[in-house]
Structure 1
Amino acid sequence: MKQHSWKHRVRVRSCGVLIENGKVLLVELCSPVVNDWVWIPPGGEVTFGETLEEAVIREMKEETGLTVSVVKQLTSNQVIRPPVHAIEFYFLVERIEGDVELGHDPELEEKDQILRNIGFFSKTDIKTMNVVPQFLIEILDDYLT
């Protein structure tokens, strides 16, 4: 996997947690942190001049095809695993419109895309999946069936 600009700098990420019918929407991607396939809420880097909320709305559209609104911030997280250092903000979001479809990362070439799957998953499902960060499973416990 091509690392691009993720190495040796602090990245601020904004991620969306969409829950519908007791299930959470996750994307499967090749993580630059562990260089392996993981399931994670859609999200990505905040660009200069963009608010956290604007970033999560944009990232959700790019990765899932959905237009969402932000309900509230759920939590934040810091990942320090050299050469990766990221500060992540997780927001509960709700769908305004659109159908779920796997998107892409516009900063990456087609051959370098890191997204490969998308879906809604129950509490039982995510306990058997490689979900990151792991603490999200506990946070989502009250929301999922």
Structure 2
Amino acid sequence: MDKAREEVLRLYGNRLRTRVCGICVMDDRLLMVRHRGIGVTDTFWCPPGGGIQFAETAHTALEREFLEETGLHIKAGSLLFVNEFMHPPLHAMELFFTTQIVGGEVKVGIDPEMSEHNQIITEVQLMSMEQIKAYPADEVHRMFQYCETLDDVFLLNGYLHT
């Protein structure tokens, strides 16, 4: 097992986390972050987001996570849906929100919880739904199983059942 995967499991494994994730659309493409150390192929694409810290609101956490991961300053918007991410030993309740960009430029950011040598964010990219769907299902967030178009993302609501 590589060092990044070991660190992911040490930091996030065998406990329930509450995460926030943001849906950010620019030029009919969705902002996506590629992670290593997650999944069987070591590639996992998902919208930007991360864990809520103690005494931090969901909106504040999302705004912080976006800046850390993508270099963008955003304003968190409405709650769209909830997803239960369960890939033992990883388990998280994910709250997905709309976002509005208010500044910054897209860049590959960091995960400050990870050590400098084991950073898991490898790429930040605006992707069309066709690009997202071209990846194997286990390399993209499962929310895309419910979507054929970018507009479908905004129709997701409630709890996404497995």
> TM-score, length-normalised on structure 2?
0.81
What are the residue-to-residue correspondences of 1:56-71 with 2, within 5 Å? 56-71=62-77
SS in 2 for 1:142: helix
Percent identity between the two aligned chains: 33
Is this contact kept in 2: 1:19–1:143, CA < 8 A? no
SS of the residue 1:5 aligns to: helix
1:123 aligns with 2:132: no
- Find out whether 1:104 has 2:110 as its counterpart: yes
The AA in structure 2 aligned to 1:58 is R
CA RMSD of aligned residues (A): 2.0
Higher helix share: 2
Give the CA deviation at 1:29.
0.3
C-alpha distance 20-142 of structure 1, shift in aligned 2 (>3 A): same
Structure 1 stretches of 5 or more lacking a match? none
Label 1:139 to 1:78 Cα distance change in 2 as closer, same or farther (>3 A).
Answer: farther
Q: TM-score, with normalisation over the residues of structure 1?
A: 0.89
2:119 aligned with 1:113 = yes
Query: Which structure 2 segments of 5+ residues have no match?
Result: 154-162
2:24 is paired with a residue of what secondary structure? strand
| C-alpha distance after superposition, 1:33-68 (max 9, x if no partner) | 546211110111100011111111000000001100
How far 1:109 moved relative to its partner? Answer: 1.0
> Segments of 4+ in structure 1 off by > 3 A?
31-35, 134-137
Give, as a single letter, the amino acid of the residue that structure 2 aligns with 1:142: D
Distance 1:118 1:37, change over 3 A: same
Question: How many residue pairs are counted as aligned between the two chains?
Answer: 144
Instruction: Please state how far the C-alpha of 1:136 moved relative to its aligned partner.
Output: 6.4
Read off the aligned partner of 2:56 and give its amino acid letter.
E
